[in-house]
Structure 1
Amino acid sequence: MKSSSSTNTNLNNTIPVMGAPKRLISWASIFVACLTVLVFSILVKLGFWQLSRAEEKHAWQQELNERQNKAPISFDQLLTLPADDRLTGYRLEAEVNPINQQIILLDNQIYQGTVGYLAYQAVQVNRNSPLLLVELGFIASSMDRRILPRVAPITTTQLLHGKLYQKSTNPLSEHLLAEPGNPLRIQNLNLTELGQLLQQELAPAVLQPDQLVGNTLPRPWQPIPLSSQKHQGYALQWFSMAAAFALLMLYLLIIKKKNIDKPDKNSTN
């Protein structure tokens, strides 16, 4: 009896106590893994999107350079170009006649860190043809928005040479939002609505002249708001964020595994 009792006692000491089986993968772990893959994929996708934008901007810059090196087009040629064609960058030569002295001020413009307006004037090139909107230049705004700056209009017939451009539309607010008066303050350069307000059709692009008689206002040229180099920099930032996020999640996974393994070692001892 003694030996049998001692044998049972030894067997009980050597047989490990079997607890409830551990769940190898929890729902929380699955959720974290899916979230990690989703966030990492989004960051990488944003990086590749910025690279594609950089390629588009590079191709557009090359096209602009080619247009600048070509001979200027005439006003009649401008009117024959497709309405949906991107007209920015073409050079234009036209003799303009100021039929009125209405000044248009495009609000919320920034030049060299100064807030102000871009001033425009609609002039005539050919009778019975749309008017041409000419950029007069940038002028700073006053602290009091009720006081609008005075800009000297074109008053004599001039032969102008310059670059054409089309302002990109704001998808959130593309309407003219005009404040009547002279100067006429507008919030968006919507040529269609501006033509309706002036009761005269406007050409589909704006002329930025190289020179204007009696006008010394700066005329900033920025047909591409963000260069291809900027987009490449943004792409690098997104890829860096994706790499940092992946390393962080890997580090947390290693820490969690070590914390899980510690109780197992203690129970074995």
Structure 2
Amino acid sequence: MRRHGTLIAGWAFALVLIAAFSSLGAWQLRRGAEKQAVLDASARVLAQRSAVPLAAAQDARLSSAYTWAAGPGRFAPAPPVLLDNQQRNGRVGIRVFRVFLPDSGGELLVDLGWLALPGDRTVPAAALAGAPVGQVQVRGLLAPPPSPGLALGEPMSKRAVGSGEAWLATRIDRAAVDGQLGDPQRPLAPRVLRLDPAVPGGFERDLVLLANTLPPEKHRGYAVQWFGLAIAAFVTALILTFRRKRR
């Protein structure tokens, strides 16, 4: 009877492990599929580059979509928003965002590109520049803001940079940006404009998505590992069961 109870307990533990490993594997597969869908959707848009007006950024129904857009306007005199902990080619830096005021439609955050941080993490004064003054024509990829990850603490804090100020952000929080930099009469768009690298001004930039997160193939690789652990747990339980019976 005692052996029978031990056997049941052992299989119960094995089944819990198998279920947990299988669940993690399935989650990794879903994340990989979601990211692959993002890459496929953006690739189609970048292949065509058929521009729509910037006002399309305001459509909340398209907040997760990718659209090529262009239009005139001017950059607001508000301080830039500096998204921290952004990697590029193995280096750590910030991505610089500025509020843009299209001639038609609400306000829009424009991603001006990436700027390296020195070892002491002092924000360079160049972060205050990069946005042209006066009436300009912009174009680029309308995309959802960068993934916030774990949303812990305040999303933005003001920093002195050179002879001016900037907002250092741990994530792009639309409500926080709107509250600090927005115009109540012109609501901030749910999407940001990833500025075309061919447009003058700004900093190092490209239109590569998922630069600071795992690519789909990594998720698929992790899924294989989790499913492998589930199979290993099942095989181990079988081996221990047969050994116990032989004894």
With the shorter chain as reference, the TM-score category is 0.7 to 0.9
Deviation at 1:176, TM superposition (A): 2.0
Determine which of 245, 258, 265 is the counterpart of 2:233. Answer: 245
* Residue segments in structure 1 that go unaligned for 5+ positions in a row: 1-22, 261-269
* Aligned structure 1 segments of 4 or more residues deviating by more than 4 angstroms: none
* Residue segments in structure 2 that go unaligned for 5+ positions in a row: none
Whether the 8 Å contact between 1:135 and 1:208 is mirrored in structure 2 is: yes
| Alignment match, 2:208 | 221
| Alignment match, 1:118 | 95
| Alignment match, 1:266 | none
1:174 and 1:88 mapped to 2: Cα distance? 28
| Alignment match, 1:173 | 152
For 2:117, give the aligned amino acid.
Answer: S
| Alignment match, 1:19 | none
Determine which of 63, 83, 93 is the counterpart of 1:106. Answer: 83
- Is 2:32 the partner of 1:47? no
2:237 and 2:88 mapped to 1: Cα distance? 44
SS of 2:102's equivalent in the other structure is coil
| Alignment match, 1:231 | 219
Q: TM-score of the superposition, structure 1-length normalised?
A: 0.75
Root-mean-square deviation over aligned CA pairs: 2.6
Determine which of 165, 168, 192 is the counterpart of 1:185. Answer: 168
1:53 and 1:215 mapped to 2: Cα distance? 32
Deviations 1:152-181 (A, max 9, x none): 232333211211122223343274232244
Whether the 8 Å contact between 2:11 and 2:237 is mirrored in structure 1 is: no
For 2:225, give the aligned amino acid.
Answer: Q
Deviation at 1:84, TM superposition (A): 4.9
| Compared CA separation, residues 116 and 46, structure 1 to 2 (3 A) | same
Correspondences of 1:191-210 after superposition (within 5 Å): 191-200=174-183, 201-210=187-196
| Compared CA separation, residues 40 and 134, structure 1 to 2 (3 A) | same
For 1:132, give the aligned amino acid.
Answer: L
SS of 1:204's equivalent in the other structure is coil
For 2:204, give the aligned amino acid.
Answer: L
2:15 and 2:52 mapped to 1: Cα distance? 53
Q: TM-score of the superposition, structure 2-length normalised?
A: 0.81
Identical-residue share of aligned pairs (%): 23
**Max Rg structure:** 1
Deviation at 1:193, TM superposition (A): 1.0
SS of 2:120's equivalent in the other structure is coil
Which structure is higher in RCO with an 8 Å CA cutoff and minimum separation 6? 2
Structure showing the higher strand proportion among its residues: 2
Whether the 8 Å contact between 1:175 and 1:188 is mirrored in structure 2 is: no
Whether the 8 Å contact between 1:104 and 1:120 is mirrored in structure 2 is: yes
Deviation at 1:220, TM superposition (A): 5.7
| Compared CA separation, residues 48 and 104, structure 1 to 2 (3 A) | closer
Deviation at 1:114, TM superposition (A): 0.9
For 2:179, give the aligned amino acid.
Answer: Q
1:154 and 1:70 mapped to 2: Cα distance? 23
Deviations 1:51-77 (A, max 9, x none): 333333333433333333251220223
Deviations 1:214-244 (A, max 9, x none): 4452346224844332222122111111122
Aligned length: 233
Deviation at 1:189, TM superposition (A): 0.7
For 2:23, give the aligned amino acid.
Answer: K
For 2:195, give the aligned amino acid.
Answer: P
